[in-house]
Protein backbone atom coordinates (compact mmCIF):
# COMPACT_ATOMS: atom_id res chain seq x y z
CA UNK A 1 0.00 0.00 0.00
CA UNK A 2 1.36 3.39 -1.00
CA UNK A 3 1.10 6.24 1.46
CA UNK A 4 0.60 9.86 0.34
CA UNK A 5 3.11 12.43 1.45
CA UNK A 6 1.45 15.24 3.45
CA UNK A 7 1.28 18.54 1.58
CA UNK A 8 4.15 20.84 2.37
CA UNK A 9 3.87 24.51 3.33
CA UNK A 10 4.15 26.01 -0.20
CA UNK A 11 1.57 23.55 -1.58
CA UNK A 12 -0.91 24.37 1.19
CA UNK A 13 -0.41 28.08 0.62
CA UNK A 14 -1.12 27.69 -3.11
CA UNK A 15 -4.29 25.70 -2.41
CA UNK A 16 -5.51 28.33 0.03
CA UNK A 17 -4.84 31.08 -2.51
CA UNK A 18 -6.83 29.25 -5.22
CA UNK A 19 -9.73 28.64 -2.84
CA UNK A 20 -9.84 32.32 -1.87
CA UNK A 21 -9.70 33.38 -5.52
CA UNK A 22 -12.61 31.10 -6.47
CA UNK A 23 -14.68 32.35 -3.57
CA UNK A 24 -14.01 35.98 -4.45
CA UNK A 25 -14.90 35.43 -8.12
CA UNK A 26 -18.18 33.75 -7.21
CA UNK A 27 -19.07 36.62 -4.92
CA UNK A 28 -18.29 39.17 -7.62
CA UNK A 29 -20.50 37.35 -10.17
CA UNK A 30 -23.34 37.18 -7.68
CA UNK A 31 -23.10 40.93 -7.09
CA UNK A 32 -23.04 41.69 -10.81
CA UNK A 33 -26.06 39.52 -11.63
CA UNK A 34 -28.18 40.58 -8.67
CA UNK A 35 -31.41 42.43 -9.48
CA UNK A 36 -33.78 44.52 -7.41
CA UNK A 37 -37.03 42.61 -6.74
CA UNK A 38 -40.02 44.03 -8.60
CA UNK A 39 -43.00 45.37 -6.64
CA UNK A 40 -46.13 43.35 -7.48
CA UNK A 41 -49.45 45.06 -8.18
CA UNK A 42 -52.92 43.61 -8.63
CA UNK A 43 -55.95 44.79 -10.59
CA UNK A 44 -58.95 45.09 -8.29
CA UNK A 45 -62.48 44.73 -9.66
CA UNK A 46 -64.89 47.52 -8.78
CA UNK A 47 -68.40 46.85 -7.53
CA UNK A 48 -70.60 45.91 -10.50
CA UNK A 49 -74.27 46.81 -10.68
CA UNK A 50 -76.67 43.85 -10.92
CA UNK A 51 -77.40 43.00 -14.56
CA UNK A 52 -80.49 41.21 -15.84
CA UNK A 53 -79.90 38.91 -18.79
CA UNK A 54 -82.22 37.87 -21.58
CA UNK A 55 -81.60 34.11 -21.32
CA UNK A 56 -79.87 31.50 -19.22
CA UNK A 57 -77.25 30.54 -21.81
CA UNK A 58 -73.87 29.43 -20.50
CA UNK A 59 -71.09 31.89 -21.36
CA UNK A 60 -67.42 31.01 -21.03
CA UNK A 61 -64.73 33.70 -20.93
CA UNK A 62 -61.53 32.95 -22.80
CA UNK A 63 -58.09 34.34 -22.01
CA UNK A 64 -57.72 37.54 -24.07
CA UNK A 65 -55.39 37.43 -27.05
CA UNK A 66 -52.54 39.94 -26.95
CA UNK A 67 -49.43 41.04 -28.76
CA UNK A 68 -46.20 39.98 -27.10
CA UNK A 69 -45.85 43.47 -25.62
CA UNK A 70 -48.96 42.95 -23.46
CA UNK A 71 -48.69 39.18 -23.04
CA UNK A 72 -46.54 39.57 -19.95
CA UNK A 73 -46.71 40.46 -16.27
CA UNK A 74 -44.89 43.76 -16.86
CA UNK A 75 -46.59 47.19 -16.90
CA UNK A 76 -46.32 48.83 -20.32
CA UNK A 77 -45.47 52.49 -20.92
CA UNK A 78 -45.73 54.16 -24.34
CA UNK A 79 -43.14 56.89 -24.72
CA UNK A 80 -43.01 59.68 -27.33
CA UNK A 81 -42.25 58.35 -30.79
CA UNK A 82 -44.21 55.16 -30.19
CA UNK A 83 -41.44 53.54 -28.15
CA UNK A 84 -42.80 50.86 -25.80
CA UNK A 85 -41.09 50.02 -22.54
CA UNK A 86 -41.92 48.60 -19.12
CA UNK A 87 -42.04 50.36 -15.78
CA UNK A 88 -38.68 49.34 -14.30
CA UNK A 89 -39.67 48.43 -10.74
CA UNK A 90 -43.16 46.95 -11.09
CA UNK A 91 -45.05 43.90 -12.29
CA UNK A 92 -48.62 42.54 -12.31
CA UNK A 93 -49.60 39.67 -10.03
CA UNK A 94 -50.14 37.46 -13.10
CA UNK A 95 -49.77 37.75 -16.86
CA UNK A 96 -52.00 40.58 -18.04
CA UNK A 97 -54.33 38.43 -20.23
CA UNK A 98 -54.98 35.96 -17.40
CA UNK A 99 -55.50 38.81 -14.95
CA UNK A 100 -58.08 40.46 -17.22
CA UNK A 101 -59.88 37.14 -17.70
CA UNK A 102 -60.13 36.75 -13.92
CA UNK A 103 -61.46 40.28 -13.41
CA UNK A 104 -64.01 39.83 -16.21
CA UNK A 105 -65.29 36.64 -14.61
CA UNK A 106 -65.45 38.31 -11.21
CA UNK A 107 -67.40 41.24 -12.65
CA UNK A 108 -70.03 38.95 -14.18
CA UNK A 109 -70.35 37.02 -10.93
CA UNK A 110 -70.63 40.20 -8.86
CA UNK A 111 -73.36 41.41 -11.23
CA UNK A 112 -75.36 38.29 -10.43
CA UNK A 113 -74.92 36.73 -13.87
CA UNK A 114 -75.26 32.95 -13.60
CA UNK A 115 -73.78 30.25 -15.83
CA UNK A 116 -70.52 32.06 -16.50
CA UNK A 117 -67.07 30.49 -16.27
CA UNK A 118 -63.66 30.07 -17.85
CA UNK A 119 -63.09 28.08 -21.03
CA UNK A 120 -61.12 25.59 -18.93
CA UNK A 121 -64.16 24.86 -16.73
CA UNK A 122 -66.04 21.57 -17.33
CA UNK A 123 -69.12 23.31 -18.75
CA UNK A 124 -71.02 23.01 -22.03
CA UNK A 125 -71.06 26.58 -23.35
CA UNK A 126 -73.60 28.24 -25.60
CA UNK A 127 -71.47 31.34 -26.10
CA UNK A 128 -67.78 32.14 -25.72
CA UNK A 129 -66.70 35.68 -24.87
CA UNK A 130 -63.44 36.14 -26.76
CA UNK A 131 -61.38 39.32 -26.63
CA UNK A 132 -58.22 41.03 -27.82
CA UNK A 133 -56.11 43.48 -25.84
CA UNK A 134 -55.60 46.46 -28.14
CA UNK A 135 -53.99 48.66 -25.51
CA UNK A 136 -53.22 48.45 -21.81
CA UNK A 137 -50.58 51.03 -21.05
CA UNK A 138 -49.49 54.28 -19.50
CA UNK A 139 -49.35 56.62 -22.51
CA UNK A 140 -46.66 59.28 -22.02
CA UNK A 141 -46.75 60.49 -25.62
CA UNK A 142 -49.74 62.77 -24.93
CA UNK A 143 -49.34 63.63 -21.27
CA UNK A 144 -49.91 60.92 -18.70
CA UNK A 145 -52.91 58.79 -19.64
CA UNK A 146 -53.88 55.28 -18.60
CA UNK A 147 -55.28 53.71 -21.76
CA UNK A 148 -57.25 50.45 -21.86
CA UNK A 149 -58.82 49.13 -25.06
CA UNK A 150 -60.43 45.70 -25.57
CA UNK A 151 -62.18 44.25 -28.58
CA UNK A 152 -64.71 41.56 -27.66
CA UNK A 153 -66.67 38.96 -29.61
CA UNK A 154 -69.53 36.69 -28.66
CA UNK A 155 -69.02 33.40 -30.46
CA UNK A 156 -71.65 30.67 -30.85
CA UNK A 157 -69.91 27.58 -29.55
CA UNK A 158 -71.98 25.24 -31.71
CA UNK A 159 -71.14 26.65 -35.15
CA UNK A 160 -68.25 29.01 -34.23
CA UNK A 161 -70.12 31.96 -35.70
CA UNK A 162 -69.51 35.45 -34.32
CA UNK A 163 -72.87 36.56 -32.93
CA UNK A 164 -71.81 40.10 -31.98
CA UNK A 165 -68.65 42.14 -31.59
CA UNK A 166 -67.68 45.55 -30.25
CA UNK A 167 -64.70 47.59 -29.06
CA UNK A 168 -64.50 49.22 -25.64
CA UNK A 169 -61.95 51.78 -24.48
CA UNK A 170 -61.33 54.13 -21.59
CA UNK A 171 -58.71 56.77 -20.84
CA UNK A 172 -58.00 57.97 -17.31
CA UNK A 173 -55.46 60.70 -16.41
CA UNK A 174 -52.58 59.48 -14.26
CA UNK A 175 -51.05 61.86 -11.69
CA UNK A 176 -47.52 60.67 -12.41
CA UNK A 177 -45.33 58.11 -14.11
CA UNK A 178 -44.39 55.92 -11.17
CA UNK A 179 -46.14 52.58 -10.63
CA UNK A 180 -48.05 53.73 -7.51
CA UNK A 181 -49.48 56.57 -9.62
CA UNK A 182 -50.04 54.64 -12.85
CA UNK A 183 -51.62 51.45 -11.48
CA UNK A 184 -54.75 53.07 -9.93
CA UNK A 185 -55.41 54.89 -13.21
CA UNK A 186 -55.03 51.69 -15.23
CA UNK A 187 -57.27 49.91 -12.73
CA UNK A 188 -59.96 52.59 -13.07
CA UNK A 189 -59.81 52.46 -16.87
CA UNK A 190 -60.11 48.66 -16.87
CA UNK A 191 -63.10 48.74 -14.50
CA UNK A 192 -64.85 51.24 -16.77
CA UNK A 193 -64.29 48.97 -19.77
CA UNK A 194 -65.34 45.82 -17.90
CA UNK A 195 -68.56 47.46 -16.70
CA UNK A 196 -69.46 48.27 -20.31
CA UNK A 197 -68.59 44.74 -21.45
CA UNK A 198 -70.84 43.18 -18.81
CA UNK A 199 -73.79 45.38 -19.77
CA UNK A 200 -73.20 44.74 -23.48
CA UNK A 201 -72.95 40.98 -23.03
CA UNK A 202 -76.05 40.42 -20.91
CA UNK A 203 -78.15 42.22 -23.53
CA UNK A 204 -77.05 39.67 -26.14
CA UNK A 205 -77.14 36.31 -24.38
Express each pLDDT in 150-169 by its tens digit: 999 999 989 999 999 999 99
* Predicted local confidence at residue 25, as pLDDT: 35
Integer Cα distance of 45 and 110 in angstroms: 9
Going from the N-terminus, what domains does the chain have, and what CATH number goes with each? 39-202 (3.40.50.10610)
pLDDT at 41 over 50: yes
Q: Count the neighbouring beta carbons within 10 Å of the beta carbon of residue 168.
A: 18
203 vs 51: which has the higher pLDDT? 203
Integer Cα distance of 60 and 102 in angstroms: 12
144 near 173, Cβ under 8 Å? yes
What is the mean predicted confidence (pLDDT) over 81-86?
94
* Predicted local confidence at residue 68, as pLDDT: 95
* Predicted local confidence at residue 3, as pLDDT: 45
In the structure, what pLDDT confidence band is assigned to residue 51 with cuts at 50, 70 and 90? confident
Helix (H) or strand (E) holding 133: strand 127-139
14 vs 53: which has the higher pLDDT? 53
Amino acid sequence: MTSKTPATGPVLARRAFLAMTATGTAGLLAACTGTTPLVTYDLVAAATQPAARRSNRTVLISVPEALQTYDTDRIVAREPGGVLSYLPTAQWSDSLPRLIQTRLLQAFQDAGVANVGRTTDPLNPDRVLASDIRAFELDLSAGRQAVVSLNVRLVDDWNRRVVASSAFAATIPAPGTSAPEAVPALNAALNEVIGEIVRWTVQRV
